[in-house]
Amino acid sequence: MIESILRLSIERRWLMLSLILVLLGSGIWSYQQLPIDAVPDITNVQVQINTEAPGYSPLESEQRITYPVETALAGIPNLSYTRSLSRYGLSQVTVVFEEGTDLYFARNLINERLGVIKSSLPPGLEPSMGPIATGLGEIFSYTVEAEPGAVQANGSPYDATALREIQDWIIKPQLALVPGITEINTIGGYDKQYHVTPKPQAMLAFGVSLDDIGDALRSNNNNRGAGYVERNGQQLLVRSPGQLQAIVDIEQVVIKDIDGVPVKIADVAGVAIGKELRTGAATRDGKETVLGTAMMLVGENSRTVALAVAERLEQIQKTLPDGIKLDTVYDRTVLVDKAIGTVQKNLVEGALLVIAVLFLLLGNIRAALITAAVIPLAMLATITGMVKAGVSANLMSLGALDFGLIVDGAVIIVENAIRRLAEAQRRNGGKQPLKERLQLVFEATNEVIRPSLFGVMIITVVYIPLFSLTGVEGKMFHPMAATVVMALLAALVLSLTLVPAAIAVFMTGNISEKENRVVSAAKSLYEPALKGAMKLRWWVLSAALSLVVFSGWLSTTLGSEFIPQLKEGDIALHAMRIPGTGLEQAVSMQFQLEERIMEFPQVDKVFAKIGTPEVATDPMPPNVADNFVMLKPRDQWPDPTMTQTELVREIEAAVKQLPGNNYEFTQPIQMRFNELISGVRADLGIKVFGDDLEQLEVSAEEILPVIESMPGAADARVEQVSGLPMLSVVPKRLAIARYGLNVMMVQDLVAAAIGGEPAGLIFEGDRRFELIVRLPESIRRDFDGLSELPVPLRNGGYVPLSEVATLDIAPAPNQISRENGKRRVVVTTNVRGRDLGSFVAEVKTRIAQEVDLPAGYWLDYGGTFEQLESATQRLSIVVPITLVVILGLLVMAFNSFKDAAIIFTGVPLALTGGVISLWLRDMPLSISAGVGFIALSGVAVLNGLVMLAFIRDLWHERGDLASAVIDGALIRLRPVLMTALVASLGFVPMALNTGTGAEVQRPLATVVIGGIVSSTILTLFVLPILYRLAHGREKV
Amino acid sequence: MNICILKKKGSLGLVIGFVALLTLSLVANSESDDHAQHGHESHDHAKQDYEEHQGDDHEEHQGDDHEEGHEEENEEHGHEGGDLEDQEGVVEIADAMASKAGISTAVAGPGEINKTLTVYGRVIADPGRISHIRARFPGTITQVNVSIGERVEKGQKLAEVESNESLKRYVLKAPFSGIITARHASQGEATEEQALFTVANFDQVWAEFQIFPGQMSRIALGQPVTMSVESEQTTSTIKHLIPSDSGQPFVLARAAIDNKQGRWTPGLLLQGLVSVEQVQASLRVDNRSLQTFENRTVAFVKEGERYEARPVTLGRSDSRFTEVLDGLKPGDEYVVINSYLIKADLEKSGASHDH
């Protein structure tokens, strides 16, 4: 089959060449569609269901909202698990689906279920699904600022409420229309509200209750349409406007009438524009601000969307009142551009180096160009494939692309073809006729196509274990493996079709295959060296063996990490205060923190989100703030050579001086991922499930000492569930009965007095603002005053609140976590200096023996040990299978197990170089480096294959093993050197680059370069020796 | 040949061994670094990152406990919070930092505790100062000298009545100074049995406050009370405590109001602030200074740049100050404003971000 393809390609060579145009076209078109981002999206398929429940405490929001929502979700197809969080004013249920579930399908299912339970939720609460976005979705943030001296239309300076109004009603509606944006999330400032603040004394004096005020406002604030009438043939629409327009209108609303004298709102209450009871705030550079974040729709191209947002913001800026300016504080484009710039630089430089090497070694510019042409063509084909497969272009997916590897197959073919052509020309002393030339090209290609096909297939096969990774690792490395495999396959197809065709078309004139100086010098060095090595074969072999053993040992001394972390170039930090810290307190602490950070000359701006934004994508309590520290370009630093790590250390040392804050340093994208994927973050999590929170805590506290007493346990802790101080107003049933009240009346009063009661909307054009009845701040904040709050009686009298209810401040749950529909408290621990498996087993038996759980309570073990177990299991099956497959391919290629095994020795020999180069560059072992090793094994096998195939053919031709080995090795020196050189040089820019994102790619490149060097040297010497030893006593 | 085969087998074994080793080390690496590295728990990524040249996490002894995030909470619990302290509940904050953070202190000392209770009630006219004047002998009114709203002095002539029996004219006089609040008499009318004039004196009115059972124990005769309506304010003392006669469960506390200015009209709803307890405390602290720390109420005492959480036993308290029975000494400098910051600093290592 291969032969017929080759024949076809050579005969229909012009057709083949014209296919380039198709490839170009589809590649360029695909490039426009290709999603580009900095890192792969590792978010799982999840849907957040947020229900805002103003005023609900954690217990109430769990009982009234979270529970029904969770119950409704049971039995949804493809459901992996649910987890939920019930906090003050918010219930969030996160539904995680099996990998591969279509997000829109999942949302549809949930939508349907939510529709069913809507009636069983407390009235007025609407569960809504979070934005259709992933962890990479927050691509753009801006602040709305007032310039100093800017004043509103009414002459007062802009405050946080006014800025928020501009954000909500001018900016957001325009920005939300940008294609690819799914949500504009706002945090900071205050929602403008109209507040009616009744004075208890005046209410008593006029015998007016909070209810009366609410009712009066509700029934005096409506527009009504009243149909139409015809008048002299003309239609007149009838309408009765009655909406309240302004504060004056509200003040004039009549509540009741005493002896013919109307009691108006103004008589019993103040009316003013007030502040909502907000759950989140935003700060910037030590001041309050309003922060908008544009969230990108799943699967969009972040760069395009961020650019479109920036452009739209500029247009919006023109529509804003004078003195208001929008300021971009975070723009993903910057990072993506930098990262993609790094990748591009790596790829382009790599490609140039490869071309240079090709030209240098082939000594024929046409041949070099044909080979080099494979690079852009394979790349375009890969891009087409990436778009089709939904793989985005990013540091990881493009991080393992080595043009050296890609052109390997083509190099071998081209090299052989020009060698044969040159030979033929030398024999014939001139050009051959077309037919002969075509035949020659066919033969030359056919001669080496099998080994190179096998080689490429083997490289492809070695990437297969990567596909078996699941979870976060899978998301990181699947795109990488997919891209490489696609590129290799594309190159394979090209070297089968296009390369022979191009050789047939373009390699016409004199084939100036000069044994150029480099190659001949190498040969003249290689020949004696190889002969010497053959003599000292046992020495060479044992040296190689000890090298392998040594590097095996060395690899255990290398540090280890999972994946090198992308340096995003900006710093993010969680500033955490103790649970129960109020929002205003947190804001003032935040001011100090930001002022301190701004003192660093390297810092451009710093902004923070405190608490929960409008759309609760990341529901933080008010005591936690996400800080973003944007750095100036390095050349503006006082000391541009300072590393970011050092800067972070300095900032950390400085902010640690500030009282009351605890920090966790991270990076913006990283932080977002953590928030979305979170589960149990430790090696082992022991989840206690049950009903009663107190019992759960007690049981967890019993488990803790058991774990702490075990060797290897580190950082064991119980999840913090309580600690939120809560003021409980507990109705006294007897007293209530005596005064003719009921519990609800008391609760309504407390809710309205403290939290406020919505009493309709005030419209200002499109803008609508809530009208709230709430006690004045001075009374709300006064704990003693609250206990004397008059509760109106039905007969017109009153009774102080303390008479009918007890007021009590006590700690209460600050959040309730549930998993799969049950309350849970987690005990987490890490394991140090001990293998996780035995630790987990011991934990299980010891807890079973020592901890007595009440009926209805049970344990579940989770944490990263699960992933480890599954990853270990998977790899321990997949890696051997892969090895067997490779061996099988080699056996197929050679029909000899012996030869296959000899070629296989190239693998450990290649790995030695990789390990040593890691050690030299002081890099830890990581999965990225592991991928490098995988690629390396492929290259090593390919090298061996090329050499061995030729030696064997030569041996079979001549019958003399010794000379066949030496000559074969010499003839194959050029292709082996070439494939090695191009493969390693292709990675050199990647290994040396220091740009943004280079750290992710560096280990892989380092390993491949080091490994190829060692593998080449060893292939050139050890392989011939082994072959000779293995076949020394055989006859042809 | 034998040797060769052995060699071959050896090399094959080597290959597999090596790959196995690689696999193992990869697995082991994810094992040891797992908590730090699994992507979703990578708050620690940063740590790993920023310390990569150290390659380990032996940071504790430097006191960088927060780097470990929540995971070190237990370990660090008890001596967390600051930098050098080894004592529980003590934190050190430089003065410059403290003043920047708005921490301010006061000196504990003696002072007054004035405990108050808010009650509501109405202004009631003094029944002894309202007089409904009738004609002593029935007759015809011949002359009326005053009209509604007019102020009259004691003994002032209000009207003249001609008696039906004696046909003598006699004069109706004001029994005391006051205001004519009602008049049912016009010239030529027969007096009948009705009240002709009502003279009321509002120079003194009464405030009647409703004292509910829960408040009763704190209210006593003679307690000063501050009464206010809108911006008007006056003080008095509780004169009487009388059970309500309307079958309601409250007691009426009565206090006289001097109403020479005439601003306290009967029927007005009053808010009264009764000083239920007024004592001289030997030691008192500002309420803003008190915080809960490890389930005890504490005040933070400043010594130099050290702040110590002192558990205090509290006595009486009013809306501003609280008596301290034990735990503080007079002259101790304690944190008043932003005492929460000290508490926050002491407990901060417990602050974590759970998802």
For A761-784, write each residue's pLDDT tens digit. 999 888 889 999 998 888 888 877
CA pair distance A959, A174, nearest whole angstrom: 81
Q: Please list every residue in chain A whose beta carbon sits closer than 8 Å to the beta carbon of residue B21.
A: 552, 555
Closest to A808 (Cα-Cα) out of A731, A723, A721: A731
CB–CB contacts below 8 A, A to B:
305
For residue B34, give the nearest of A717, A784, A868 by CB distance: A868
Tokens representing B345 are 């600093």
- Most B CBs within 10 A among A681, A911, A922, hence the mutation to make, goes to A681
User: Which of A560, A782, A828 is closest, CB to CB, to B33?
Assistant: A560
CA-to-CA distance for B215 and B218, rounded, in angstroms? Answer: 6
* pLDDT tops 50 at residue B24: no
User: Is B354's CB within 8 Å of A875's CB?
Assistant: no
Q: How far apart are CA A995 and CA A337, in angstroms?
A: 11
Per-residue confidence (pLDDT) for residue A562, from 0 to 100: 64
Window from A26-30, A35-39, A389-393 with minimum mean pLDDT? A35-39
CA distance A950 to chain B (A): 20
Chain A residues with CB-CB distance to B341 below 8 A: 589, 659-660
Q: How far apart are CA A939 and CA B16, in angstroms?
A: 17
Q: Is the pLDDT assigned to residue B246 strictly greater than 80?
A: no
Closest alpha carbon within chain B to A43 = B40
Top pLDDT among A84 and A346 is at A84
Q: Report the alpha-carbon angle A995-B59-B94, nearest 5.
A: 100
**Rounded distance between C-alpha atoms, residue A319 and residue A83, angstroms:** 43
Separation between Cα atoms, residue A497 and residue A482, nearest integer Å: 22
- Determine the pLDDT at residue A238: 93
Q: Which of A453-467, A592-606, A609-623 has the lowest mean pLDDT?
A: A453-467
**Alpha helices (H) along A678-765:** 693-708, 733-738, 743-750
ipTM above 0.95, yes or no: no
Calculate mean pLDDT across residues B43-59: 39
Residues of chain B neighbouring A704 (CB-CB closer than 8 A): 74
Of B49, B71, B101, nearest to A717 by CB-CB distance is B71
Average pLDDT score over chain A: 85
Minimal C-alpha gap between B190 and chain A (Å): 32
Is the pLDDT reported for residue A388 higher than 80? yes
Mutate to test the interface with B, among A664, A726, A734 (most CBs of B within 10 A): A664
Are A813 and A579 spatial neighbours (Cβ–Cβ below 8 Å)? no
Q: Which residue of A has its CA nearest to B74?
A: A717
Give the integer Cα–Cα distance in Å for A716 and B74.
Answer: 7
Q: Which of B12, B35, B305, B340 to mutate to test the interface with A (most CBs of A within 10 A)?
A: B35
Least confident range from A4-18, A843-857, B215-229, B307-321: namely: A4-18
DSSP state of B62: G
pLDDT of residue B4 exceeding 60: no
Spell out which residues of chain B touch residue A679, defining contact as CB-CB under 8 Å.
40
Contacts of B345 in chain A (CB under 8 A): 659-661
| Pairwise CA distance, residues B329 & B309, whole Å | 14
Pairing between β-strand A192-198 and β-strand A767-773 as defined by DSSP bridges: parallel
User: What letter does residue B17 receive in the DSSP assignment?
Assistant: H
Q: Which residues of chain A does B42 touch, with a Cβ-Cβ cutoff of 8 Å?
A: 565, 666, 670, 673-674
- The answer to whether the CB atoms of B348 and A578 lie below 8 A apart is yes
Nearest CA to B155 out of B141, B166, B145, B164 is that of: B145
Asked whether the beta carbons of residue B11 and residue A905 sit closer than 8 angstroms, the reply is yes
Question: Residue B35: its pLDDT value, please?
Answer: 40
Q: Least CA distance to A578: which residue of chain B? A: B351
Q: Report the range of poorest mean pLDDT among A771-775, A785-789, B269-273.
A: A785-789
| Range picked from A730-744, B31-45, B91-105 for highest mean pLDDT | A730-744
The answer to whether the CB atoms of A660 and B27 lie below 8 A apart is no
**Nearest C-alpha in A relative to B56:** A559
Contact at CB, A205 and B268, closer than 8 angstroms: yes
* Residue A625 predicted with pLDDT over 70: yes
pLDDT at B233: 87
Q: Which of B34, B55, B319 sits opposite A683 (nearest CB)?
A: B34
Asked if the Cβ–Cβ distance from B12 to A904 is below 8 Å, we say yes
Mean pLDDT of B52-77: 38
Which residues of chain B are within 8 Å of residue A556 when distances are taken between CB atoms? 25
Count of C-beta atoms within a 10 Å radius of residue A790 = 22
Which chain B residue shows the shortest CA-CA distance from A914? B22
Which region among A270-284, A398-412, B207-221 has the lowest average model confidence (pLDDT)?
Answer: A398-412
Residues in chain A within 8 Å Cβ distance of B101: 589, 592, 658-660
Residues of A in contact with B20 (CB under 8 A): 879
A19 versus A833: the higher-pLDDT residue is: A19
Mean local confidence (pLDDT), A595-607: 91
Range A645-659 average pLDDT: 87
Q: Does A875 contact B350 at a Cβ distance shorter than 8 Å?
A: no
Q: Which residue, among B67, B117, B353, would best test binding to A if mutated, counting the most A CBs under 10 Å from its CB? A: B353
Q: Do the beta carbons of residue A503 and residue A414 sit within 8 Å?
A: yes
Reference A399, options A1013, A1012, A1006, A1014; nearest CA is A1006
CB contact under 8 A, B33 and A561: yes
* Nearest Cβ partner for A898 among B8, B26, B352: B8
- Pick among B3, B27, B30 to test the A interface (most A CBs inside 10 A): B30
Percent of chain A at pLDDT > 90 equals 19
Q: Do A666 and B46 touch (CB under 8 A)?
A: yes
Binning pLDDT at 50, 70 and 90, where does residue A560 land? low
Rounded to whole angstroms, the maximal C-alpha distance in chain A is: 128
Nearest neighbour of B120 by CB, restricted to A588, A681, A798:
A798
Query: For B212, phi and psi rounded to 5 degrees?
Result: -85, 160
> In percent, how much of chain B has pLDDT > 90?
6
CA angle A412, A413, A416 (to 5 degrees): 85
Please state the length of chain B.
355
Cα distance from A795 to chain B (closest Cα, Å)?
11
> Which residues of chain A are within 8 Å of residue B7 when distances are taken between CB atoms?
541, 1026, 1029-1030
For residues A614-623, average pLDDT: 83
Q: Name which of A205, A555, A788 is nearest B118 (Cβ-Cβ).
A: A788
Q: Enumerate the H helices of A330-433 as residue ranges.
A: 332-362, 365-389, 403-428
Q: What is the pLDDT of residue A525?
A: 84
Best A92, A538, A561 residue to mutate vs chain B (most B CBs within 10 Å): A561
Which pLDDT does position B121 carry in this prediction? 87
Interface test with B, best of A203, A576, A736, A794 (most B CBs within 10 A): A576
What's phi and psi for A994, nearest 5 deg? Answer: -120, 10
Q: Distance, in angstroms, between A522 CA and closest chain B CA?
A: 28
Mind telling me how many Å the CA of B163 is from chain A's nearest CA? 40
How distant is the Cα of B7 from the closest Cα of chain A, in angstroms?
Answer: 9
Collect all residues of chain B within an 8 Å Cβ-Cβ radius of residue A834.
none
Distance to chain B for A973, nearest Cα, Å: 24
Tokens of A1007: 């390993």
- Comparing alpha-carbon positions, the chain A residue that sits nearest to B72 is A715
Q: Is the dihedral of CA A369, A371, A376, A381 positive or negative?
A: positive
Average pLDDT over residues B305-310: 88
* pLDDT of B39 over the 60 cut: no
